[in-house]
């Protein structure tokens, strides 16, 4: 399993789930990321998440079968 640490930008409060999966290369495209979520293959803080645009905030953990992502806050601007 791959482990990723994702840091939000200073003014960024959240990132949408499908965008996070695409940005980190867990999904090859936005459509693939949305399909992964729709298939129930993604959990957020241990619970299956089916909302593609779910807002992921600092302190949350996103997991797929192959990856674990820890999201943290960016440095204060």
pLDDT given at position 26? 96
Domain boundaries, the chain: 2-72
What is the model's pLDDT at position 3?
A: 97
Q: What is the pTM of this model?
A: 0.93
Tell me the three state secondary structure of residue 34: helix
Instruction: Choose the CATH number for 2-72 among 3.10.180.10, 3.40.50.2300, 3.10.290.10, 3.30.390.10.
Output: 3.10.290.10
pLDDT at 11: 85
Q: pLDDT of the chain along its 77 residues, tens only?
A: 899 999 999 889 999 999 999 999 999 999 999 999 999 999 999 999 999 999 999 999 999 999 999 999 987 75
Q: CA torsion 34→60→71→58, rounded to 10°?
A: 110
Round to whole Å and give the CA distance between 31 and 45: 23
């Amino acid at each position: 399993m791959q482990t990723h640490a994702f840091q939000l930008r200073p003014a960024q409060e959240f990132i949408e789930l499908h965008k996070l999966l695409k940005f980190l290369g867990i999904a090859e495209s936005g459509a693939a990321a949305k399909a992964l979520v729709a298939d129930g293959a993604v959990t957020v803080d241990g619970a299956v998440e089916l909302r593609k645009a779910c807002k992921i905030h600092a302190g949350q953990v996103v997991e797929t079968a192959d990856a674990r992502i820890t999201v943290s806050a960016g440095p204060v601007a």
